[in-house]
Structure 1
Amino acid sequence: MQLQADAQPEAGTQLMKVRGMSMSYGFGASENKILEDLNLDVASGEFISIVGPSGVGKTTLLRCLSGLLRPKAGTIEVSGTVISGPHPDLAVVFQDYSRSLMPWMTTRDNVAFPLQGKGMGKVERNRVADENLAAVGLEGQGDKFPWEMSGGMQQRVAIARALAYNAKVLLMDEPFASVDAQTRFDLEDLVIKLKQELGVTILLVTHDIDEALYLADKVVVIAEKPATVVDEIITGFGEDRDQLATKADPRFADARARIMHRLRKD
């Protein structure tokens, strides 16, 4: 079953704009500056990976972009509107899928639950949930509970829930870090497929440089303390990607070396 994509903004148009964003915790002498004067442009239909050293503030950045955290300075615009909290055009897939899913609900109910806030009736919510479960390879699994599924299947449910919300931008916080290598490869390829079929815009935070390069149209490197954007790399691999062939491309090795060099300077 193939999910029918709702209308997305025309590919290439600016969808998200971040200007001069800074974030810190605490005040005065105890203030801990995490991000400073960070700028980012995201086009509709683009896949952007964000990489940086451990502890640099990647998750803090993603939470600011999602509206879950309010930055201390700067602006974040989505579809031309400055956001100050969670926005209907944004959906988040968290790293800890086991805690983001409600164990007492079936997978269908987990996917359908956020749709209640859109005023959607139960029959329609269940239909949309089943369509999105099918889109992530879980057709017919709606009556199962999360605890009856593997980690990879649970993360598919989390992705289906984000897709069902029909957001324009999908924010993913190291979503494959807790699964085994083969499952990770399968989920990476699934996300590429969904992006191509639905035209959704994706921002992925990851500590894995190979994953960042394999998935993204553009890799954004953040480093320094406090962190800011220090490099941007256009990958140029196109839509036909393969776990072996793409990673054997000389451009892949060159880009990996460039990122590692920049991170080691931090």
Structure 2
Amino acid sequence: MTTQTPTTEATQTAPLLMKVRGMSMSYGEGAQENKIIENLDLDVEFGQFISIVGPSGVGKTTLLRCLSGLLRPKAGTIEVSGTQISGPHPDLAVVFQDYSRSLMPWMTTRENVAFPLQGKGMGKTERNNLADENLAAVGLAGQGDKFPWEMSGGMQQRVAIARALAYNAKVLLMDEPFASVDAQTRFDLEDLVLDLQHKLGVTILLVTHDIDEALYLADKVVVIAEKPATVVDEIITDFGDTRDQLATKADPRFAEARARILVRLRKD
């Protein structure tokens, strides 16, 4: 396990898909201003899996909404593929924590996956075929005619992931997507996302308060803490492409990194 301080443009050599510089976000004005995030920098390379970990209430969801273009930060810049974003961007797709609200209950799973593709000008047959392909990719082949309420929580979250994949965005933003399922389903979904990331080469940013999840999934773990929140540490993992829920987490380097993150978070 090696550690790394936040990179700068002078030392960055790999091409960047996303670049965040000096991002700050607050609510209210003057004496009532509540600063959530301040002067945050982040570099995301093509095909990278980054976990952003921090304590509950630190502003992780606010950060993800800013990165997705759903919220406009008060200061700083966010660039995707070299273009500064000021709203939702076609290269970004979001998987929310609350899958039950992100899926429309009156639509079948196929229709839920296909619905965002209408904005890309695809015909119905093409949309449905692409929806079925991506449902199969997340282990739901043949389930396209079911409604979300007929499926378990884990299956519903798979549908949400399939919808994001079908959109063919360059960056998949995930907001604590496994927090609402049981432990075994969580492990299964983590391994599913790792497998999809390796097969498809999609870039993933995942925010979580679960340190083990952050380390297990990511190529790089970004630790945010303090009030207002900012990046306090970065850890480059070197567990390889093939990971195992038991063996990887039993690696002494895993325990070392977990302890490092805990120390940084307890300073908050």
Regarding TM over 0.5, the answer is yes
Q: Distance in 2 between matches of 1:26 and 1:100?
A: 28
1:259 paired residue number: 261
State the SS of the aligned residue for 1:191.
Answer: helix
2:173 paired residue number: 171
Equivalent position amino acid for 2:105 in 1:
P
1:4 paired residue number: none
Please, which runs of 5 or more residues in structure 1 have no aligned partner?
1-11
Equivalent position amino acid for 1:164 in 2:
A
1:158 paired residue number: 160
Q: Distance in 2 between matches of 1:96 and 1:223?
A: 24
For residues 73-131 of structure 1, the C-alpha deviation after alignment (integer angstroms, 9 at most, x for no partner) is 00000000000000000000000000000000000000000000000000000000000
Please, which runs of 5 or more residues in structure 2 have no aligned partner?
1-13
Number of equivalenced pairs? 255
Q: Distance in 2 between matches of 1:30 and 1:188?
A: 40
State the SS of the aligned residue for 2:136.
Answer: helix
Equivalent position amino acid for 1:182 in 2:
Q
TM-score by length of 1: 0.95
* Match for residue 55 of structure 2 among 53, 56, 61: 53
Q: Distance in 2 between matches of 1:22 and 1:13?
A: 24
1:35 aligns with 2:37: yes
Deviation of residue 13 (structure 1)? 2.3
State the SS of the aligned residue for 1:117.
Answer: helix
Q: Distance in 2 between matches of 1:204 and 1:260?
A: 18
1:203 paired residue number: 205
* Match for residue 28 of structure 2 among 18, 26, 38: 26
For residues 214-234 of structure 1, the C-alpha deviation after alignment (integer angstroms, 9 at most, x for no partner) is 000000000111100000000
Q: Identity over aligned residues, as a percent?
A: 89
1:213 aligns with 2:203: no
Q: Distance in 1 between matches of 2:16 and 2:265?
A: 28
Deviation of residue 53 (structure 1)? 1.3
Equivalent position amino acid for 2:39 in 1:
D
TM-score by length of 2: 0.95
1:123 paired residue number: 125
1:139 paired residue number: 141
Equivalent position amino acid for 1:149 in 2:
M
Q: Structure 1 stretches (4+) deviating beyond 6 angstroms?
A: none
1:3 paired residue number: none
Q: CA RMSD in A?
A: 0.4
* Match for residue 68 of structure 1 among 62, 65, 70: 70
State the SS of the aligned residue for 1:39.
Answer: strand
Q: Distance in 1 between matches of 2:23 and 2:15?
A: 21
State the SS of the aligned residue for 2:20.
Answer: strand
2:187 paired residue number: 185
Q: Distance in 2 between matches of 1:207 and 1:154?
A: 22
Deviation of residue 197 (structure 1)? 0.3
Q: Distance in 2 between matches of 1:14 and 1:50?
A: 17
Equivalent position amino acid for 2:41 in 1:
N
Q: Distance in 2 between matches of 1:199 and 1:191?
A: 11
